Amino acid sequence: MPLPGSSQVKRSTLRQQIADALCDEVLSGRLPAGRQFTVKEMAEQYGVSATPVREALIDLCSQGLLDVEEHRGFRVHEFTLDDFRAMLEARALIVEGMFRRSADQVLASISPEALASVRRRADEAERAARLGDLDILIGYDLRFWRELTGLVGNPYVSDFLQRVRVQCWVFTVPHLRRVPDLSGRLWAAHGELTDAVTRADAAAAERIISEYNAHALALIEELAGCAGASAGSPPVDGRVDEPVDGPAGGPVGGPAGGSDDG
């Protein structure tokens, strides 16, 4: 005999599974910005009823990834370069607030098991970044940041930062996909940041993150400018940037991992 409420649990689980799958599609670029679709279309694609699909789509709207179009369904949200700049500012403010805690508080919150898991995520993310493997990087990067912020922050801060990081990846992925070889161009200092957090060295951690955000913006401004020029339209901010080789550092925080363990 089913337990009371078991059907609701199953529906909720399906709703989350669909939301995670759709988030992965958006993060990977398989559902590109501006793409329109209906509940019926997605329900048929996943072979499920319309109700959990509609609920999942509404969840993604609340995360800023989709827009509701009256009488037409849903559309993948189109972020701008100005949005990205604002996202980086928000990320910086969130992290700055996290590291205001004292060193004793930070160290007391870190268990050996949690730290070992963060280091594994850091190693995998760094490896993918150095190889320029975007699909692998996004998933591990999101997992890394969620677990890292879990060491020094609170769950509300962690969830908000994760939302911003996902949005950053959604904006940057199309630009990064245009680069034939990303090896050496993506941020790969996950281990260095983990070491700074482990030492409770807030100054070092904030420096690393500041450098990371600066490189992210420079790289994406370059790629967005080149993309605009190649399309025959004025580049971003009206500038024509000379091609440069970015240092081993990288873009945003960040798919393929909308589910990213949570």
Say what the pTM is.
Answer: 0.79
Distance CA 262, CA 258 (A): 8
What's the CA gap between 241 and 132, in Å, rounded?
22
CATH number, domain at 142? Answer: 1.20.120.530
45 plus 15 within the same structural domain: yes
> Cα–Cα distance between 144 and 142 in angstroms, integer?
5
- The most distant pair of C-alpha atoms in the chain lies apart, rounded to whole Å, by 68
Q: Are residues 72 and 85 in the same domain?
A: no
Nearest one of 127, 87, 94 to 216, comparing CA atoms: 87
pLDDT digits (tens, 9 = 90+) for 29-39: 899 999 999 99
Same domain, 14 and 107: no
Same domain, yes or no: 96 and 71: no
Rounded Cα distance between 197 and 205, Å, is 6
> Looking at the domain assignment, is residue 247 inside a domain?
no
Q: Both 123 and 200 in a single domain?
A: yes
In this structure, the answer to whether residues 47 and 95 fall within a common structural domain is no
Number of domains the chain is built from: 2
Residue where a domain terminates, one of 76, 101, 118 = 76
What is the rounded CA–CA span in Å between residue 158 and residue 146?
A: 6
Cβ burial of 115 (10 Å; 0-12, 13-18, 19+) is: middle
CATH number for the domain harbouring residue 20: 1.10.10.10
Which amino acid type is present at position 111?
A: S
Sheet containing strand 66-69, strands side by side: 36-37, 73-76, 66-69
Which whole number is the average pLDDT over 207-222?
94
Distance CA 111, CA 247 (A): 33
Residue 228, CA distances (Å) to 83, 158, 172, 193, 223 in order: 17, 34, 14, 34, 9
Domain coverage including residue 55: 6-76
Q: Report the pLDDT averaged over residues 12-33.
A: 92
Domain final residue pick, 58, 76, 94: 76
Residue 66 clears pLDDT 90, i.e. is over it: yes
State residue 262's pLDDT score.
38
- In this predicted structure, what is the pLDDT of residue 157? 84
- Judgement on whether residues 139 and 126 belong to the same structural domain of the protein: yes
